[in-house]
Amino acid sequence: MDMSSDMAGGRASTAVREISYAEAAVLAVQREMEADPRVVVLGEDVGRGGIFGQYRGLQQRFGAERVIDTPISEAAIMGAGVGMALAGLRPVVEMRVVDFALCGMDELVNQAAKNRFMFGGQGRVPMVARMPGGIWDASAAQHSQSLEAWFAHLPGVVVVCPATPQDNHALLRAAMQCGDPVVYIEHKGLWGARGPVDESLQLPLGRAATLRHGDALTLVSWSRQLQACHAACETLAAEGIAVELIDLRTLWPWDRETVLASCARTRRLLVVHEAVQAAGFGAEIAASAAEATGCRIARLGAPRIPVGYSPVLEAQSRVGAERIAEAARALCTPRASPL
């Protein structure tokens, strides 16, 4: 994997260690809490480390006044986070999973996202709402949703979807330093994934990463779906099809410059995401590329069905490497000339 673009705009050091996606998140929150006493954490079960271990050890280190266990009420948690932010704190609000965040949508949509605009910048909401998303193995329709397009559609918030331990560390720190509300969507299936993490590497929000370089096709994705994209790229490379693979990382603002420059060069774009294809964020990327470059475009996403509980039904909502490779081959096949 070519990680050169990950290092661009960042500050690298030799202090690299291999840790999990969840451990990278704990380290990010710890470092920001050490650096800024205004950073607090609130949510259900955060005191015992969170259901994925993404806060492990933090309450023991910083105390129950900064790592705050809350009642089971997402509306209260989100509302309290908004109030804390307006009062000068920098809260990290834990929703457990994005599916549960729906109970706190009014506070996010009508309060956090709009305060800066409606009050002429007098108030800011520097809040990070962590909402683990995506398919959670054998967890069925109410615990396996990919709703990032909802939040990308919402003016006033930043939307981040990290795919690696390194990105989860660097982008979570960037999110906690942001002056506006950030919807931070870690994938439920990535917590145990391990990879190198350089604590000193700083990544800006809104910057994509080019993971592979190629001239046959631009492939854009994010979050856990990149695993299937990597596998498809390996298959296609063996067939002589060189794919340029881009991890969007931040859905809003998204890195138009990197994506459109690649599309202009390859003249082909395939956008792949785990979320339902209908009205997914891939459509925004596809439309933008069509308007700016006129390249050939295809999209791949899940069918418009709830995620099933059984493995057979759950598999119907997954976009695998074979489907991605097939769609890429079709894009790279010259169109038949009209009669």
What letter represents residue 195's amino acid? G
What are the C-alpha distances in Å from 75 to residues 43, 47, 70, 132?
11, 19, 11, 17
Cis-peptide into 306, omega within 30 deg = no
Q: How remote is the C-alpha of 69 from its chain's centroid?
A: 25
Here the tokens at position 7 are 């290092």
Q: Residue 143, CB half-sphere, CA atoms under 13 Å: how many?
A: 9
Answer for the pair 196, 16: CB distance below 8 angstroms, yes or no. Answer: yes
Residue 213 is among the residues annotated as catalytic for this protein:
no
Out of 143, 169, 230, 273, pick the active-site residue: 143
Between the CA atoms of 284, 146, 223 and 253, what dihedral angle is there, to the nearest 10 degrees? Answer: 40
Q: Report the catalytic residues.
A: 143
